[in-house]
Amino acid sequence: MHDEKWQNIIGKIKDDLELIEEGREDLEENRGFREFVVFNGPLGKIKLERTTRPVVLDKKTIGSRRIGGETKVEYIYSKDEFSQKFQAFKWDEAQNAWEEMDAKNFE
């Protein structure tokens, strides 16, 4: 999901619905960030998340062929290309936790 479309969604939520929380958090080891917005909608409390990470260009496995040898995986990330993932969650009162909404249910 592109930045412009994400901003349009947040704008519509702010205009039409009750915004509860909005924020951004960095992922571990500076490998991207997660933006989220929580609001009250017709289905109840909803959370939308967009995760942005650098694209993996290469994966190197480093290790020895000896028994008990240690193996290490090294990733090479792009500095200018990013992948984005969009997720929607609904608050489940019974479990007191966020439950991921499946996009197939909206078809």
Q: For the segment 38-85, what is each residue's pLDDT rounded down to a tens digit?
A: 999 888 899 999 999 999 999 988 887 777 778 888 889 898 899 999
Residues belonging to the chain: 107
Rounded distance between C-alpha atoms, residue 80 and residue 27, angstroms: 17
Mean pLDDT of the chain: 87
CA distances from 43 to 7, 47, 63 (A): 22, 11, 51
Q: With 80 as the cut, is the pLDDT of residue 14 above it? A: yes
What pLDDT shows up at residue 52? 92
Q: With 70 as the cut, is the pLDDT of residue 106 above it? A: no
Three-state secondary-structure class, residue 57: strand
**Predicted confidence band of residue 97 (pLDDT cuts 50, 70, 90):** very high
